[in-house]
Structure 1
Amino acid sequence: MKIGLLVLALVPGAAWLVVLRLKDVPAALLVGYGLLLAGLAAGLLWPGSLGRRRVLVFAGVPAGLGTLGLYLAVVYHVTDLPVLLALAAAACLAWAAAVLPRRTTSADGRGRRVLLLGGAGVALGVLSALSAGPVERGRREASAAGERVRQAAQRAPGARRRVNDGAVRIFPLHTGDTIVTYGQFYGGLAGWEGLNGYVRTLVDKARIAVPVRAYLIDHPRHGPMLVDTGVNWEQAHDHDGYYDLTSRLLTERDEYRMAPAQDLRVLLARLGYDVKEITTVFLTHVHDDHAGGLRYLPRARVVMDRRDWEQGVLYPPSFEPVEGRLSFPAFDSGPFGTFPQSQDHFGDGSVILLPTPGHSPGHLCVLLRVGEGGVLFMGDTLYTLPHLAVDQVRQMTIGGADTTRQVEAARRIQALLAADPGLVPLFAHDNTPYTRLAGDGPLGEAELKPLRRHLESALTPGWRLRPGHAPAFVPSGGELGRVEFR
């Protein structure tokens, strides 16, 4: 019985240690802290001659102070202050209520304790109420400062004039960068898979910055549309304030970087578009680096696979503004090329949705017809052009059946590209010369042809990388390394 209770106590402790490691707390400190937590749990279950009171004093107090210190160091945000004060007030009042009915030899001593605890509880409650206003004002001031920076970037010289000539145009939108481990991005064939891969992300700090891209489509029949929405300003500049406590525990403060000119609203405005014009967002999957910009699109219908909505890892701050505007494809348009299921979204063959599960439960790719050719928006089925060589280069995968599904989707994409020489893939995180060749658009039928030629120069017909296109990690001496292609 006690062994079972010990295991139950150690499981959340182990999860907390994993979270702290994700936050880059030194391993040596975590070992000592973990031993202290384990000693506390064991001492409470088997106190022996020490007694539980001494265990609490000599292990519980240091463990509690250590937990509070680590929380303040790596998870705390100023928006937590009113909540923390309210919790402390509730604890003091509860303690006072517990002391009140106890029989003691000194009624005066009992009364003093009740008075002190009750007074502390009331004082902390008042402080909690008083702190809420300044905290909220601080958030508003920070938001206003960000808005001023965004407006300045929007007014900067060099904005484009919108062209309406009836052609389909595609604009790559660089919405910032995400910081990832090199193995997570390129190590799927070197042990970065499933649980083992996630464990390695905790200890391997060879990191790189990779772009986060969304794509604007200006379609003569269907209006301005987006494939994914990238990262939003708050994710990059007010990370801890944007996410709730649970989300903060599972993410890193420095996971996104964004310059003012990379804000989705700025990018659209400088291309001559208004966020209110966006009629449709095709969301390849629910991960937050693809869904962050949803909060800026008040009129868009969001098209995504129902499996991702019901089973995927999504963060409420990004999705709460669009919950009433979701559309789930039925994939009932029949086979399309190598895919047994598809969805002709508009019914005219202009946009075809293709299920590519694996990276997430309901990941999908989007095929857009452009003249005699087309574009296949990859989402995260494959991160970059070299990932098309799926037997040589692979990103970290979930493992098991999900890995199988993702690799199957990659092979279907290979066959689709091989069968249609006018089809060009576009990636959400490509950090190779391929996407630099695309620039920031606009991409029309003529501009897509050099991209296809580059693809064919980088990969053999059997989907093997040619020399000069295999990724390699290069330490830079700083916090982040870089990727070379050899």
Structure 2
Amino acid sequence: MLKTLSKIGLIVAALAVGTAWLVILRLKDVPAPLLTAYGLLLVGSVVGSLWPGVLGRLSTRRRVLVFLGVPAGLGTLGLYLAVVYYVTDLPALLALAAAACLAWAAAALLRGRRAAGGRGGRPSRRAFLLGGGGLVLGVLSVLSVSPVERQRREVLARGEQERQAAVRAPGARRRIVDGAVRVFPIHTGDTIVTYGQFYGGLNGWEGLNGYLRTLVDKAQIAVPVYAYLIDHPRHGLMLVDTGVNWEQAHDHDGYYNHNQMVSRLLTQRDEYRMTPEQDLRVQLARLGYDANDITTVFLTHVHDDHAGGLRYLPQATVVMDRRDWDHGAVYPYSFDLVKDNLLFPAFASGAFDAFPDSQDHFGDGSLILLPTPGHSPGHMCVLLRMDAGSMLFTGDTLYTLPHLATGQVRQMTIGGADTIHQMEAARRIQHLLASDPGTVPLFAHDNTRYQSDLVAAAFDQGVLGKEGLRELRAHMEAVLTPDWRLRPGHTPRYVAPASGTGLGRVEFR
């Protein structure tokens, strides 16, 4: 009975590990038919090893090993090398292979001694070859460390060369100092997401079910990642969010392997893309600014597509909700250089419009922080007052202008109380925009012409004039009714790629 229970425990543990591995492979875009066949091999290997009799003709463990175990092992190695392997793994893989060879050699040696009745004797040829192979692999593991590090340094050096070339390209500006508050949208590349994750929150993309669907549904689109530079005559240079950094887009596995391999395993290798011109440091330089002069970063939340650029801003004070720092999904490497520069607002300035709590950050009404939890535990929005009107930086409470129609368009939400909180925050944003016609929203991921055409034009010189404000509000009214419904022609729809593979696009009808 105890032996049977032990076997059941082993198979449950093996199936749990195997399932997690299959989920990782699916996240890495391994085709479902291949995963199904591979999964059956894994299950057959485990079950056959414990109960070989249930597999009929493969009624011995040796046959199970030969016909199922070996293919499953080779498949595991092949899939790992194809979709997970990164060059920094090489020393560890060689070390594991060396350890396996030496263990096998020791087992062969013990078997030989046992066969000789414990009298010792000469090592078998197998033990000798395995031991020698293990030693060679161990030496190669040590020797590979330096070339691997050199290879990664070369990758980073090439990126630096591309960045410097982009900074020197024609068309750069000089900073204008005339006492005006300026805001510059900074497009720091794109993130690749499933269409349902971005627009399917009302169609079952919620909570655990939504996250599972992101593993299966590969109808993907590219959406922009925006940070916003604020040049304030009294308060200096500030950023709302920091976007992604060059390493996330071009050395993804290396970036997410700094702390633990789990981070790398659970992220997609191609989740970000960025041209040299989109690098945050390049764009700041071409606008006439230096990243080292940024004094304050207002982080709407800690997700890594908003916090990656913190690697470039070690001198900045990072203002964020403490709930996000304590309970959000923080990737430590993005925060390593600023973790001692964090400032947590108390939200003690009283109510602001429909928001029961707020923080007047500078005490002069020029910049108000508004708690909007839901997308993350401590998500917040930022309201900036300019001469012509006010900017509301929404972070990820709402992805795009059409998402203000919360009854028709919604991104994937966490579910339960978090979804309720996020929708409450969205309604407060609606109320603020309706009550103050001098306020316009600025989004972190808007993939509509509101961002690409109108916002880009209105803030081309950083100063929002009355005409720019009027055009942005007019476009809002052309897209949304006063009761926050989408007008005809503005409902998002996924369009699959013509080839059947690659990224789709979004049309509005």
Q: Under TM normalisation by the shorter chain, which class is it? A: over 0.9
1:414 aligns with 2:430: yes
Q: Choose which of 437, 448, 451 in structure 1 pairs with 2:454.
A: 437
Distance of 2:234 and 2:105 partners within structure 1: 69
- Which residue does the alignment assign to 2:476? 455
Correspondence list, 1:40-59, <5 A: 40-48=45-53, 50-59=59-68
Structure 1 residues 293 and 475: CA distance shift in structure 2, 3 A: same
- Which residue does the alignment assign to 2:439? 423
- Which residue does the alignment assign to 2:203? 190
| Equivalent AA in structure 1 for residue 306 of structure 2 | H
Please, which moves more after superposition, 114-123 or 36-45? Answer: 114-123
- Which residue does the alignment assign to 2:36? 31
Structure 1 residues 105 and 411: CA distance shift in structure 2, 3 A: same
Shift of 1:248: 2.3
| Equivalent AA in structure 1 for residue 16 of structure 2 | V
Q: Choose which of 235, 242, 257 in structure 2 pairs with 1:222.
A: 235
SS of residue in 1 equivalent to 2:227: strand
1:389 aligns with 2:401: no
Q: Choose which of 376, 394, 399 in structure 1 pairs with 2:392.
A: 376
SS of residue in 2 equivalent to 1:212: strand
CA contact (8 A) 1:359 1:406 kept: yes
Alpha-carbon deviations, 1:369-416, whole Å to 9, x = none? Answer: 213631111111100000000001111112222211111111111111
Distance of 2:337 and 2:133 partners within structure 1: 40
- Which residue does the alignment assign to 2:17? 12
Shift of 1:187: 1.1
| Equivalent AA in structure 1 for residue 90 of structure 2 | L
Shift of 1:74: 0.4
Distance of 1:123 and 1:193 partners within structure 2: 52
Distance of 2:302 and 2:355 partners within structure 1: 22
1:482 aligns with 2:498: no
CA contact (8 A) 1:383 1:428 kept: yes
CA contact (8 A) 2:388 2:469 kept: no
Distance of 1:437 and 1:40 partners within structure 2: 59
1:118 aligns with 2:123: no
CA contact (8 A) 2:244 2:309 kept: yes
Distance of 2:299 and 2:46 partners within structure 1: 46
Correspondence list, 1:317-396, <5 A: 317-371=333-387, 373-396=389-412
SS of residue in 2 equivalent to 1:125: helix
Structure 1 residues 330 and 177: CA distance shift in structure 2, 3 A: same
Please, which moves more after superposition, 44-53 or 461-470? Answer: 44-53
Q: Choose which of 172, 175, 183 in structure 2 pairs with 1:159.
A: 172
- Which residue does the alignment assign to 1:204? 217
Q: TM-score scaled to structure 1, two decimals? A: 0.95
SS of residue in 1 equivalent to 2:339: helix
Shift of 1:56: 3.3
Alpha-carbon deviations, 1:161-201, whole Å to 9, x = none? Answer: 11111111100001111111211111111121122222322
| Equivalent AA in structure 2 for residue 437 of structure 1 | L
Distance of 2:17 and 2:322 partners within structure 1: 31
CA contact (8 A) 2:99 2:134 kept: yes
Distance of 1:284 and 1:293 partners within structure 2: 13
- Which residue does the alignment assign to 1:293? 309
Shift of 1:241: 2.1
Please, which moves more after superposition, 363-372 or 404-413? Answer: 363-372
1:69 aligns with 2:78: yes
1:85 aligns with 2:94: yes
SS of residue in 1 equivalent to 2:244: coil
Alpha-carbon deviations, 1:408-427, whole Å to 9, x = none? Answer: 11111111111211111100
Alpha-carbon deviations, 1:274-320, whole Å to 9, x = none? Answer: 01000011111111111111111121111122222222223233222
Shift of 1:113: 4.6
Please, which moves more after superposition, 167-176 or 286-295? Answer: 286-295
Q: Choose which of 295, 300, 311 in structure 2 pairs with 1:284.
A: 300
| Equivalent AA in structure 1 for residue 85 of structure 2 | Y
Alpha-carbon deviations, 1:28-72, whole Å to 9, x = none? Answer: 111111111112222233234834444334332222111111000
- Which residue does the alignment assign to 1:470? 491
Shift of 1:112: 4.5
1:60 aligns with 2:72: no
Distance of 1:98 and 1:333 partners within structure 2: 71
Distance of 2:282 and 2:422 partners within structure 1: 34
Distance of 1:476 and 1:367 partners within structure 2: 38
CA contact (8 A) 2:369 2:383 kept: yes
SS of residue in 1 equivalent to 2:115: coil
Alpha-carbon deviations, 1:317-371, whole Å to 9, x = none? Answer: 3222222222222222222221122222222222211111111122111111213
Please, which moves more after superposition, 318-327 or 206-215? Answer: 318-327
Question: Which ranges in structure 2 are unaligned for 5 or more consecutive residues?
Answer: none
Shift of 1:211: 0.8
Distance of 2:497 and 2:37 partners within structure 1: 32
CA contact (8 A) 1:168 1:219 kept: yes
| Equivalent AA in structure 2 for residue 179 of structure 1 | I
SS of residue in 2 equivalent to 1:322: coil
Shift of 1:4: 4.0
Structure 1 residues 56 and 329: CA distance shift in structure 2, 3 A: farther
Shift of 1:108: 4.0
CA contact (8 A) 1:351 1:367 kept: yes
CA contact (8 A) 1:104 1:110 kept: no
Distance of 1:111 and 1:320 partners within structure 2: 53
Q: Choose which of 268, 272, 291 in structure 2 pairs with 1:252.
A: 268
Q: TM-score scaled to structure 2, two decimals? A: 0.91
Structure 1 residues 53 and 319: CA distance shift in structure 2, 3 A: farther
Distance of 2:329 and 2:132 partners within structure 1: 44
SS of residue in 2 equivalent to 1:429: coil
Q: Percent identity among equivalent residues?
A: 74
Shift of 1:468: 2.1
Distance of 2:316 and 2:232 partners within structure 1: 15
Shift of 1:3: 3.4
Please, which moves more after superposition, 370-379 or 267-276? Answer: 370-379
| Equivalent AA in structure 2 for residue 287 of structure 1 | H
Please, which moves more after superposition, 199-208 or 284-293? Answer: 199-208
